[in-house]
Amino acid sequence: MDIDFQRIFNDYFEQVSTLIPNIITGILVLIIAIIFGKIVFKIIVKVTRKKWQDSIMSNFLAQVIKWSIYLFGVIMALSVVGFTGLATTIFAGAGVSAIVFGFAFKDIGENFLAGIILALKRPFEIGDIIEIQGNKGTVKDLDLRTTHLRNVEGKDIYIPNSSIIKNPLTNYTKDGFLRINFMIGIAPECDIEKTRKLVLDYLKTNKNILKKPEHNVVVEGLGEYTTDIQVFFWINILAIKNLPDEYLGHNIRSKAITDIKIILDENNIEMPSQVLEHKMYRQNKLSIENKSEKLY
Protein backbone atom coordinates (compact mmCIF):
# COMPACT_ATOMS: atom_id res chain seq x y z
CA MET A 1 0.00 0.00 0.00
CA ASP A 2 1.38 3.40 -0.97
CA ILE A 3 1.35 6.01 1.74
CA ASP A 4 0.60 9.54 0.69
CA PHE A 5 3.04 11.38 2.99
CA GLN A 6 2.23 14.71 1.39
CA ARG A 7 -1.45 14.35 2.19
CA ILE A 8 -0.69 13.32 5.79
CA PHE A 9 1.65 16.27 6.19
CA ASN A 10 -0.91 18.69 4.73
CA ASP A 11 -3.65 17.37 7.05
CA TYR A 12 -1.34 17.67 10.08
CA PHE A 13 -0.24 21.17 9.10
CA GLU A 14 -3.87 22.20 8.62
CA GLN A 15 -4.79 20.93 12.11
CA VAL A 16 -1.83 22.71 13.70
CA SER A 17 -2.66 25.91 11.80
CA THR A 18 -6.21 25.73 13.10
CA LEU A 19 -4.96 25.38 16.70
CA ILE A 20 -2.34 28.18 16.57
CA PRO A 21 -4.82 31.03 17.25
CA ASN A 22 -6.28 29.05 20.16
CA ILE A 23 -2.81 28.28 21.53
CA ILE A 24 -1.81 31.96 21.35
CA THR A 25 -5.09 32.95 23.03
CA GLY A 26 -4.55 30.31 25.74
CA ILE A 27 -1.03 31.59 26.41
CA LEU A 28 -2.37 35.16 26.67
CA VAL A 29 -5.06 33.99 29.11
CA LEU A 30 -2.42 32.27 31.25
CA ILE A 31 -0.16 35.35 31.22
CA ILE A 32 -3.08 37.59 32.22
CA ALA A 33 -3.97 35.20 35.06
CA ILE A 34 -0.37 35.25 36.35
CA ILE A 35 -0.18 39.06 36.23
CA PHE A 36 -3.63 39.39 37.82
CA GLY A 37 -2.66 36.90 40.55
CA LYS A 38 0.47 38.88 41.46
CA ILE A 39 -1.48 42.17 41.56
CA VAL A 40 -4.19 40.62 43.77
CA PHE A 41 -1.47 39.14 46.02
CA LYS A 42 0.09 42.56 46.65
CA ILE A 43 -3.28 44.21 47.27
CA ILE A 44 -4.43 41.53 49.75
CA VAL A 45 -1.13 41.63 51.64
CA LYS A 46 -1.26 45.42 51.90
CA VAL A 47 -4.90 45.59 53.00
CA THR A 48 -4.94 42.64 55.42
CA ARG A 49 -1.67 43.54 57.17
CA LYS A 50 -3.04 46.97 58.04
CA LYS A 51 -6.36 45.55 59.17
CA TRP A 52 -5.27 42.38 60.99
CA GLN A 53 -1.79 43.38 62.15
CA ASP A 54 -0.87 39.81 61.26
CA SER A 55 1.78 39.42 58.59
CA ILE A 56 1.82 35.61 58.53
CA MET A 57 -1.93 35.13 58.06
CA SER A 58 -2.23 37.94 55.53
CA ASN A 59 0.71 36.60 53.52
CA PHE A 60 -0.61 33.05 53.65
CA LEU A 61 -4.14 34.06 52.58
CA ALA A 62 -2.69 36.10 49.71
CA GLN A 63 -0.61 33.08 48.62
CA VAL A 64 -3.67 30.80 48.59
CA ILE A 65 -5.72 33.28 46.53
CA LYS A 66 -2.82 33.91 44.13
CA TRP A 67 -2.35 30.20 43.41
CA SER A 68 -6.10 29.75 43.06
CA ILE A 69 -6.06 32.42 40.34
CA TYR A 70 -3.12 30.63 38.67
CA LEU A 71 -5.09 27.37 38.73
CA PHE A 72 -8.15 29.05 37.24
CA GLY A 73 -5.93 30.56 34.53
CA VAL A 74 -4.53 27.12 33.64
CA ILE A 75 -8.03 25.66 33.37
CA MET A 76 -9.25 28.57 31.22
CA ALA A 77 -6.17 28.31 28.98
CA LEU A 78 -6.77 24.57 28.44
CA SER A 79 -10.41 25.27 27.61
CA VAL A 80 -9.47 27.94 25.05
CA VAL A 81 -6.96 25.64 23.37
CA GLY A 82 -9.61 22.96 23.05
CA PHE A 83 -8.81 20.66 25.94
CA THR A 84 -12.11 21.32 27.68
CA GLY A 85 -12.45 17.70 28.71
CA LEU A 86 -9.05 17.70 30.37
CA ALA A 87 -9.79 20.98 32.16
CA THR A 88 -13.16 19.65 33.38
CA THR A 89 -11.53 16.46 34.61
CA ILE A 90 -8.87 18.36 36.57
CA PHE A 91 -11.36 20.72 38.12
CA ALA A 92 -14.43 18.56 38.72
CA GLY A 93 -13.02 15.06 38.90
CA ALA A 94 -10.19 15.57 41.39
CA GLY A 95 -10.58 19.13 42.67
CA VAL A 96 -8.03 21.25 44.44
CA SER A 97 -6.85 18.34 46.61
CA ALA A 98 -5.75 16.41 43.52
CA ILE A 99 -3.76 19.42 42.34
CA VAL A 100 -2.01 19.67 45.69
CA PHE A 101 -1.44 15.99 46.44
CA GLY A 102 -1.26 14.45 42.99
CA PHE A 103 -0.08 17.01 40.45
CA ALA A 104 2.21 18.85 42.86
CA PHE A 105 3.64 15.58 44.33
CA LYS A 106 3.65 14.31 47.88
CA ASP A 107 6.40 16.55 49.34
CA ILE A 108 4.84 19.76 48.04
CA GLY A 109 1.44 18.70 49.39
CA GLU A 110 3.01 17.89 52.74
CA ASN A 111 4.72 21.28 52.91
CA PHE A 112 1.47 22.97 51.89
CA LEU A 113 -0.43 21.39 54.79
CA ALA A 114 2.46 22.18 57.15
CA GLY A 115 2.29 25.81 56.02
CA ILE A 116 -1.42 25.92 56.89
CA ILE A 117 -0.68 24.49 60.36
CA LEU A 118 2.11 27.03 60.94
CA ALA A 119 -0.13 29.88 59.83
CA LEU A 120 -2.89 28.80 62.23
CA LYS A 121 -0.87 27.54 65.20
CA ARG A 122 1.61 30.44 65.08
CA PRO A 123 4.82 29.22 66.78
CA PHE A 124 6.56 32.35 65.42
CA GLU A 125 5.87 35.72 63.80
CA ILE A 126 7.57 37.58 60.97
CA GLY A 127 10.66 39.18 62.53
CA ASP A 128 11.11 36.54 65.26
CA ILE A 129 14.50 34.89 65.72
CA ILE A 130 14.17 31.11 65.59
CA GLU A 131 16.40 28.04 65.31
CA ILE A 132 15.47 24.81 63.54
CA GLN A 133 17.86 21.92 62.84
CA GLY A 134 20.90 24.12 63.50
CA ASN A 135 19.64 26.93 61.23
CA LYS A 136 19.26 30.15 63.21
CA GLY A 137 17.96 33.42 61.84
CA THR A 138 15.23 36.04 61.57
CA VAL A 139 11.93 34.96 60.00
CA LYS A 140 11.44 36.98 56.82
CA ASP A 141 8.53 35.20 55.16
CA LEU A 142 6.22 32.17 55.25
CA ASP A 143 4.72 30.88 52.01
CA LEU A 144 2.89 27.74 50.91
CA ARG A 145 6.04 25.62 50.82
CA THR A 146 8.93 27.16 52.76
CA THR A 147 9.84 29.45 55.64
CA HIS A 148 12.43 32.09 54.78
CA LEU A 149 15.13 32.87 57.38
CA ARG A 150 18.03 35.30 57.19
CA ASN A 151 20.94 34.59 59.54
CA VAL A 152 23.44 36.96 61.13
CA GLU A 153 25.84 36.51 58.21
CA GLY A 154 23.20 37.76 55.77
CA LYS A 155 22.58 34.31 54.27
CA ASP A 156 19.03 33.49 53.19
CA ILE A 157 17.84 30.07 54.35
CA TYR A 158 14.68 28.43 52.99
CA ILE A 159 13.39 25.64 55.23
CA PRO A 160 10.57 23.30 54.08
CA ASN A 161 7.50 23.82 56.26
CA SER A 162 7.22 20.09 56.93
CA SER A 163 10.69 20.12 58.54
CA ILE A 164 9.56 22.80 60.98
CA ILE A 165 6.48 20.78 61.93
CA LYS A 166 8.46 17.56 62.44
CA ASN A 167 11.46 18.94 64.36
CA PRO A 168 11.94 20.89 67.62
CA LEU A 169 11.84 24.65 67.09
CA THR A 170 13.51 27.25 69.31
CA ASN A 171 11.96 30.74 69.34
CA TYR A 172 14.35 33.24 70.96
CA THR A 173 11.87 36.12 70.80
CA LYS A 174 8.53 34.60 71.87
CA ASP A 175 8.40 36.43 75.22
CA GLY A 176 11.42 38.68 74.68
CA PHE A 177 13.57 37.25 77.51
CA LEU A 178 16.95 35.71 76.75
CA ARG A 179 19.51 34.60 79.34
CA ILE A 180 23.18 35.35 78.67
CA ASN A 181 26.04 33.73 80.55
CA PHE A 182 29.82 33.65 80.55
CA MET A 183 32.61 32.46 82.85
CA ILE A 184 35.33 34.44 84.62
CA GLY A 185 38.50 32.80 85.87
CA ILE A 186 40.33 34.47 88.78
CA ALA A 187 43.49 33.53 90.66
CA PRO A 188 42.89 31.26 93.70
CA GLU A 189 44.29 33.85 96.13
CA CYS A 190 41.73 36.51 95.10
CA ASP A 191 38.68 37.25 97.29
CA ILE A 192 35.65 35.45 95.82
CA GLU A 193 33.01 37.53 97.63
CA LYS A 194 34.69 40.78 96.62
CA THR A 195 34.71 39.60 93.00
CA ARG A 196 31.04 38.64 93.14
CA LYS A 197 30.09 42.02 94.60
CA LEU A 198 32.01 43.93 91.93
CA VAL A 199 30.33 41.97 89.16
CA LEU A 200 26.84 42.25 90.68
CA ASP A 201 27.25 46.01 91.13
CA TYR A 202 28.14 46.33 87.46
CA LEU A 203 25.16 44.22 86.33
CA LYS A 204 22.83 46.50 88.31
CA THR A 205 24.10 49.60 86.52
CA ASN A 206 24.05 48.21 82.95
CA LYS A 207 20.91 49.59 81.23
CA ASN A 208 20.73 46.72 78.75
CA ILE A 209 20.50 44.11 81.52
CA LEU A 210 17.07 43.45 83.03
CA LYS A 211 16.46 43.79 86.75
CA LYS A 212 13.93 40.95 86.60
CA PRO A 213 14.49 38.06 86.14
CA GLU A 214 17.37 38.65 88.54
CA HIS A 215 20.97 38.19 87.51
CA ASN A 216 23.34 36.01 89.49
CA VAL A 217 27.03 35.31 89.99
CA VAL A 218 27.97 31.84 91.28
CA VAL A 219 31.18 29.89 91.84
CA GLU A 220 31.31 27.22 89.16
CA GLY A 221 34.37 25.34 90.40
CA LEU A 222 37.80 25.38 92.02
CA GLY A 223 40.72 24.29 89.90
CA GLU A 224 44.42 23.80 90.43
CA TYR A 225 45.28 27.35 89.47
CA THR A 226 41.90 29.06 88.91
CA THR A 227 38.57 29.84 90.53
CA ASP A 228 35.80 29.73 87.94
CA ILE A 229 32.90 32.14 88.42
CA GLN A 230 29.78 31.94 86.24
CA VAL A 231 27.84 35.12 85.42
CA PHE A 232 24.13 34.98 84.47
CA PHE A 233 21.91 37.85 83.36
CA TRP A 234 18.81 38.47 81.24
CA ILE A 235 18.18 40.85 78.34
CA ASN A 236 15.12 41.90 76.31
CA ILE A 237 15.84 40.53 72.85
CA LEU A 238 12.76 42.26 71.37
CA ALA A 239 14.44 45.62 71.87
CA ILE A 240 17.45 44.63 69.73
CA LYS A 241 16.23 41.92 67.35
CA ASN A 242 16.15 44.29 64.38
CA LEU A 243 19.82 45.20 64.83
CA PRO A 244 22.03 42.63 63.04
CA ASP A 245 25.18 43.59 64.97
CA GLU A 246 23.48 42.80 68.28
CA TYR A 247 22.08 39.49 67.16
CA LEU A 248 20.99 37.46 70.19
CA GLY A 249 22.74 39.87 72.52
CA HIS A 250 26.30 39.07 71.48
CA ASN A 251 27.35 42.72 71.61
CA ILE A 252 25.82 43.15 75.06
CA ARG A 253 27.67 40.05 76.23
CA SER A 254 30.94 41.24 74.70
CA LYS A 255 30.64 44.68 76.30
CA ALA A 256 29.78 43.16 79.70
CA ILE A 257 32.89 40.94 79.59
CA THR A 258 35.09 43.90 78.59
CA ASP A 259 33.69 46.19 81.29
CA ILE A 260 34.00 43.54 84.01
CA LYS A 261 37.60 42.84 83.02
CA ILE A 262 38.42 46.54 83.42
CA ILE A 263 36.68 46.67 86.84
CA LEU A 264 38.51 43.59 88.10
CA ASP A 265 41.87 44.98 86.93
CA GLU A 266 41.21 48.27 88.75
CA ASN A 267 40.47 46.34 91.96
CA ASN A 268 43.53 44.05 91.73
CA ILE A 269 41.50 40.93 90.97
CA GLU A 270 43.99 38.99 88.90
CA MET A 271 43.41 36.49 86.15
CA PRO A 272 44.83 33.00 86.82
CA SER A 273 48.30 32.04 85.66
CA GLN A 274 49.27 28.44 85.09
CA VAL A 275 52.19 27.46 87.28
CA LEU A 276 54.57 24.75 86.03
CA GLU A 277 56.84 23.10 88.58
CA HIS A 278 60.10 21.52 87.38
CA LYS A 279 61.76 18.98 89.71
CA MET A 280 65.32 17.71 89.37
CA TYR A 281 66.04 14.49 91.24
CA ARG A 282 69.53 13.65 92.66
CA GLN A 283 69.76 10.41 90.68
CA ASN A 284 69.39 12.27 87.41
CA LYS A 285 71.97 14.83 88.54
CA LEU A 286 74.59 12.15 89.34
CA SER A 287 73.95 10.44 86.02
CA ILE A 288 74.58 13.72 84.17
CA GLU A 289 77.86 14.29 86.12
CA ASN A 290 79.08 10.75 85.29
CA LYS A 291 78.37 11.31 81.60
CA SER A 292 80.32 14.57 81.72
CA GLU A 293 83.40 12.84 83.28
CA LYS A 294 83.43 10.16 80.56
CA LEU A 295 83.48 12.82 77.88
CA TYR A 296 86.73 14.20 79.29
pLDDT in tens, 69-109: 888 888 888 787 776 655 565 555 545 555 544 544 566 66
Q: Helical H runs in 122-249?
A: 161-166, 192-205
- pLDDT higher for 13 or 221? 221
Per-residue pLDDT at 295 exceeds 50:
no
Task: Give the bridge partners for 139, in sequence order.
Answer: 149
Q: Does CATH place domain 177-266 in 3.40.50.920? A: no
Cis peptide before 244 (omega within 30 of 0): no
Residue type, 68: S
Q: What is the mean pLDDT of residues 211-233?
A: 88
Whether 294 shows a pLDDT value over 70: the answer reads no
| pLDDT > 70? residue 188 | yes
DSSP 237: G
Give CA–CA dist 253/155, Å, rounded: 23
**Average predicted confidence (pLDDT) for the chain:** 77
Please give the Cα distance from 253 to 175 (Å, whole number): 20
Residue limits of CATH 1.10.287.1260 in the chain: 5-103
Distances, alpha carbon 74 to alpha carbons 25, 62, 87, 104, 105, in Å:
12, 18, 8, 14, 18
Query: What topology is assigned to 123-171 in CATH?
Result: SH3 type barrels. (2.30.30)
Between 50 and 236, residue with greater pLDDT: 236
pLDDT grade for 41, boundaries at 50, 70 and 90: confident
Which residues of the chain are in CATH 2.30.30.60 domains?
A: 123-171
pTM over 0.75: no
What DSSP state is assigned to residue 143? -
What pLDDT does residue 245 have? 44
Alpha-carbon distance 13 to 8, whole Å?
Answer: 9
User: Chain centroid to CA 17: how far?
Assistant: 52
CA-based nearest residue to 257, from 265, 267, 268, 247: 265
Structural domain 5-103, CATH architecture: Orthogonal Bundle (1.10)
Run of H or E including 135: strand 135-142
CATH 3.30.70.100 boundaries in the chain:
177-266
Amino acid at 29: V
